[in-house]
């Protein structure tokens, strides 16, 4: 007990999840996952569609019932002290669910009132770069602006922990980068952020630590660099093909650990590129395959995911 208390003090965990499970009938959406989030860290859950990311967040937020296991936030068990937990967190809502007929300033004041607070709405709008839009309605905003507004709304109660569920999905690269800056700024204010994403680059840029989730389980958890080192992926060879080659045959080539195809591109993970590359060109010649655009690069989180799960993040 004392040891656990000391560990909690030293690492200052703000969220502790222990064997958290969610079942819907026969379907296990979240399968006994355990992890902790440290105070002030940005923690990412990276995984494909249906992995269980949203379900995990919603159980911790107290929005969804827990089948078994526990989630503790700020020392409060979320299943037993949901009200206290809700006062400590900010949850990004989908902008489409906002009230019509209010301008942005009124909207923020209304949300603050729901928490029994008064806020400086203009200051919050400034923080998300929507100050000039204060007279606009939500329907007049672009996708990126809506996302930023929903973050401002999630901040009205000055939460200790901010939950962002796929904050940049559907945004163009520029708007995505813009949102990354905003999230980094919120992190610098000392807030703990837990976010989900499909984008490995987003996880690499924003997150101190990343849990990789697949089929309801956490398959790896570390810093982005740590994950790449730990997975010991080696190198990735990518190339374009004129038609689908025999993937199983490709997997048999020397050094090859994984091979997948995506549209007309093949991605191979290899520990011995100096053996794999000549074998690959021999394979291509034998199969009469047209190979173009051959590229090699160092492993990314996407490759870690491929190595751990045998499939790509976005399929």
Ligand X SMILES: Nc1ncnc2c1ncn2[C@@H]1O[C@H](COP(=O)(O)OP(=O)(O)OP(=O)(O)O)[C@@H](O)[C@H]1O
Binding site for ligand X (CB under 6 A): 24, 27, 29, 47, 49-55
Q: Which does 47 bind (CB under 5 to 8 A by kind): Mg ion, ligand X, none?
A: ligand X
Q: 232 and 219 in contact (C-beta within 8 Å)?
A: no
Q: Which stretch binds Mg ion (CB under 5 A): 51-59, 227-235, 266-274, 286-294?
A: 51-59
Please state the closest distance from residue 29 (CB atom) to ligand X, in A.
3
Among 28, 39, 54, 272, contact with Mg ion (rule: CB under 5 A): 54
Closest distance of CB 154 from Mg ion, Å: 16
What is the nearest approach in angstroms of Mg ion to the Cβ of residue 97? 15
Q: Does 169 bind Mg ion (CB under 5 A)?
A: no
Nearer to ligand X, 94 or 293 (CB): 94
Distance of closest approach, residue 205 Cβ to Mg ion, in angstroms: 20
State which residue, 151 or 259, has the beta carbon closest to Mg ion.
Answer: 151
Nearer to ligand X, 24 or 288 (CB): 24
Chain residues that interact with Mg ion, rule: CB under 5 A: 53-54
């Amino acid at each position: 007990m004392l040891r656990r208390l000391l560990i909690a003090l030293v690492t200052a965990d703000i969220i502790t999840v222990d064997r958290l499970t969610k079942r819907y009938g026969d379907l296990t959406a979240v399968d006994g996952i355990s992890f902790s989030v440290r105070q002030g860290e940005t923690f990412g859950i990276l995984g494909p569609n249906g992995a269980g990311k949203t379900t995990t967040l919603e159980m911790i937020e107290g929005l969804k019932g827990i089948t078994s296991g526990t989630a503790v936030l700020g020392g409060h068990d979320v299943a037993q002290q949901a009200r206290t937990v809700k006062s400590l967190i900010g949850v990004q809502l989908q902008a489409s669910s906002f009230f019509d007929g209010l301008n942005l300033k009124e909207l923020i004041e209304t949300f603050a009132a729901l928490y029994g607070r008064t806020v400086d709405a203009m200051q919050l709008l400034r923080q998300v770069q929507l100050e000039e839009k204060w007279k606009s309605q939500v329907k007049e905003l672009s996708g990126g602006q809506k996302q930023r507004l929903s973050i401002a709304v999630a901040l009205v109660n000055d939460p200790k922990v901010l939950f962002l569920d796929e904050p940049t999905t559907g945004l163009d690269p520029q708007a995505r980068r813009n949102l990354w800056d905003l999230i980094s700024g919120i992190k610098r204010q000392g807030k703990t952020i837990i976010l989900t994403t499909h984008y490995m680059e987003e996880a690499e840029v924003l997150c101190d630590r990343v849990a990789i989730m697949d089929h309801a389980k956490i398959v790896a958890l570390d810093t982005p660099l740590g994950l790449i080192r730990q997975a010991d992926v080696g190198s990735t060879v990518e190339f374009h093909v004129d038609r689908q080659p025999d993937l199983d045959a490709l997997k048999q080539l020397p050094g090859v650990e994984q091979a997948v195809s995506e549209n007309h591109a093949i991605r191979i993970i290899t520990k011995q590129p100096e053996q794999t590359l000549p074998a690959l060109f021999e394979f291509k010649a034998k199969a009469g395959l047209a190979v173009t655009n051959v590229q090699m690069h160092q492993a990314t989180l996407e490759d870690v995911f491929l190595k751990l799960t045998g499939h790509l993040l976005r399929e």
